[in-house]
Amino acid sequence: MMRVHSGEIQFGLVAALFLGLGVWAGMRLVGGRDVAAVPEGNPAARATLGISEREHEVLGLLAEGLSNKEIAARLGVSPNTVKTHVARLLEKLEARRRTEAILKARELGLIA
C-alpha cells in the first residue's frame, strides 16, 4: 500500500503539517481572546467624564482605526448609533476630531 499510494500519503502529511501550522499561527495572533473586548482603562477618569461602557467600547474600536460602519457591524448596532456615541465622546473629551479624542483618551489612560 505504501508503494502504490506514497504520493498521496506524502501530500496528506504536508497538508496536515500546514493545517497545524495555520491553527498554531491563528491562535498566536488572536490568542483566543474576544476581539470586541476592550480593556477596563482608567475607571476614575471614565466616571469623571461620564463615559458609558458602550462609549468606551466605541472609543477602543476608534483607536483601532475602524470606521463607523465597521464599528456598527462589530457591535451589532446601526451606524447612526455609532455616530451618536462618537459625537458624545468628542463632547466629553472636548475634542474636535476623532484623532484628537483618541490622543486625549490615551493621555488619560482610558485606552492603551
Neighbours of 81 (CB within 10 A): 16
Domain edges within the chain: 1-33, 43-108
What is the grid cell recorded at 63?
483607536
pTM of the predicted model as reported, rounded to 2 decimal places:
0.63
Percent of residues in the chain assigned helix, strand, coil, to nearest 5:
70, 0, 30
- What pLDDT score does 65 carry? 93
- What pLDDT score does 23 carry? 86
- What pLDDT score does 74 carry? 93
Topology (CATH level 3) of domain 43-108: Arc Repressor Mutant, subunit A (1.10.10)
- What pLDDT score does 38 carry? 45
- What pLDDT score does 34 carry? 53
- What pLDDT score does 76 carry? 93
Which residues of the chain, if any, have pLDDT below 50? 35, 38
